[in-house]
Amino acid sequence: MNNDGRGSMSGREKLMLVVVLGSVWGFLEVVLGGAMKSAAIPYKGDILTGLGIGLMAVLLALWKRPAALLAVAVLAVAVKQLAVPILQLPLFCGANSCLAVGLAGGALAGTSAMAGGRLTRGVGTRIATGISTGLLASTGFYLIGMHLAPCRYLLSFNRPGGYAGFMVSEGLIWAALAGVFLPAGYGLGKRLRASLAVAGSRRPVAYFTAMGTIAAAAWIASGLAIAAGL
């Protein structure tokens, strides 16, 4: 096994990890996000986005394919969209929260592709990549969210100098959290690399059963939470 873990896991094992991480991110968005909203915890969306970036960084440490991060984000959005069939809501319900997830995935895919192999060499590059991801995603959220679903909060920044105000109020928080969660997630992925590779190669049935169970549990728990009004 080489230092960056290339080839240590099969393609099927990595794809299964994409499913698990996307499902867990969606679960956090639904269940943890709902609990934080009920408890009136500030910066809920910022924290959830940071956690999602951390989960994607786990995959990035194991699979140097930035495009795979987009699949993680799409799966997280799909879990959130369970509210549409369960509660009979319009398709674009929660559009901006889904937008934030998608932008986080797209921004990290872009910044990690630009960083390339430098991500493996030092934590400083990972922190810088996280900060860049947060700034890029929050900028996209401001520009697109203002037109996609202009809630009262976003509209409060729809004035001259509003972008600067939004970045001070939100963008810098996104950047700071991403700057923490990305290297943390990447470090966790590096620590899990060997054990996941061994589990996948020596006990493939147990590996896929465990991963499938985690993903299914995330979807089921999210659906139940949505049905319960969380």
Per-residue pLDDT of the chain (230 residues; tens, 9 = 90+): 344 444 477 888 999 999 999 999 999 999 999 999 999 999 999 999 999 999 999 999 998 888 999 999 999 999 999 999 999 888 777 889 999 999 999 999 999 999 988 988 889 999 999 999 999 999 999 999 888 887 788 888 888 889 999 999 999 999 999 999 999 999 999 999 888 888 888 888 999 999 999 999 999 999 999 999 88
Q: Are 61 and 3 in contact (CB under 8 A)?
A: no
Domain borders along the chain are 11-227
CB-neighbour burial class of residue 185 (10 A; exposed 0-12, middle 13-18, buried 19+): buried
pLDDT computed for residue 6 by the predictor: 40
Alpha helices in 116-203 (DSSP H): 123-148, 152-155, 162-166, 172-202
pLDDT computed for residue 160 by the predictor: 86
Strand (E) or helix (H) holding 78 = helix 68-80
Measure the CA–CA gap between 54 and 48, rounded to whole angstroms: 10
SS (H, E, C) 142-154: HHHHHHHCCCHHH
Q: Are 111 and 137 in contact (CB under 8 A)?
A: no
CA atoms within 13 A on the CB side of 4: 12
AA identity, residue 38: S
CA atoms within 13 A on the CB side of 59: 30
**Torsion 185-123-105-211 (CA) sign:** negative
pLDDT computed for residue 72 by the predictor: 97
Q: Are 99 and 142 in contact (CB under 8 A)?
A: no
Distance of CA 24 to the CA centre of its chain: 9
Measure the CA–CA gap between 56 and 71, rounded to whole angstroms: 10
Measure the CA–CA gap between 138 and 156, rounded to whole angstroms: 16
Listed in sequence order, the residues at least 6 apart from 52 whose beta carbon sits closer than 8 Å to its beta carbon are 25, 28, 29, 73, 76, 101, 104, 105
pLDDT computed for residue 166 by the predictor: 93
pLDDT computed for residue 48 by the predictor: 96
pLDDT in tens, 56-77: 999 999 988 889 999 999 999 9
pLDDT computed for residue 4 by the predictor: 42
pLDDT computed for residue 3 by the predictor: 40
